[in-house]
Structure 1
Amino acid sequence: MQLTNILLFLGGLGGTEVVLIVLAILLFFGAKRIPELAKGLGRGIREFKDASKDIKEDFENSVSDHTPPARESETRLRA
């Protein structure tokens, strides 16, 4: 039951399919190389998140820095 709850994100895959996929990955990459692949994947995801965060902050800063020009009537009222 707990294994089923953990693997819910896999959708319609059953236990047998998951085991076969894991075995194929082990055979293809080998047990020693899998942690290296996971580290690289984690670094890539982290860099992507950082880059998207920077872009979002730059966009928000450019929008908040942009102030509409003052109208002539508002300028006369202030003076």
Structure 2
Amino acid sequence: MRIGPFGVWEILIILVVVLLIFGPRRLPEMAKGLGQSVRAFRKEMRDFKNDFDDEATPAPERPSKAAADASPKVPPVVNGPVVVDEPPVVSEPVVSEPVVSEPVVRDRATVEKDAESKPV
């Protein structure tokens, strides 16, 4: 017979070692403390799972009457053909002349003055 990954002999050896280490007087106290710890752990895990499930599935929200009254009224959409009274406007493409720029010629004094005023 196996209990989890341990067999009967492994469990008996563990119990004998625990009995030798802690003695027969402290063994019931330790078992009680272990049981309380396991019970508290299970309760906390159950509470955590319930909180997580509550947050994962939010309750459906109902809009309040004041919010419904404050929303703008939109006229209903009518399906059908769109009628346009004006003929379509056709425009001709705009052709522009190419822009040609000439290089700017600066004198040497202006170039040196600009170089001195700008830090590198």
Return the TM-score normalized by structure 1.
0.60
Higher helix proportion: 1
Q: Deviations over 1:6-46 (max 9, x none)?
A: xx21646463x544433221111000111111111111111
- Separation in 2 of the partners of 1:63 and 1:18? 41
Q: Deviations over 1:27-73 (max 9, x none)?
A: 110001111111111111111110010011111111222548xxxxx
Higher radius of gyration, 1 or 2? 2
Unaligned residue ranges in structure 2 (runs of 5+): 62-73, 75-120
Any residues of structure 2 matched to 1:1-79 within 5 Å, and which?
Answer: 5=1, 8-9=2-3, 11=5, 13=7, 15=9, 17-65=10-58, 67=60
Unaligned residue ranges in structure 1 (runs of 5+): 69-75
Identity of matched residues, %:
32
Which has the higher relative contact order, 1 or 2, with Cα contacts under 8 A spaced 6 or more apart? 1
Moved beyond 6 Å, runs of 4+:
none
Return the TM-score normalized by structure 2.
0.42
Which amino acid in structure 2 is aligned with residue 33 of structure 1?
Answer: R
Which amino acid in structure 1 is aligned with residue 51 of structure 2?
Answer: D
Count of equivalent residues: 64
| Structure 1 vs Structure 2 CA RMSD | 2.8
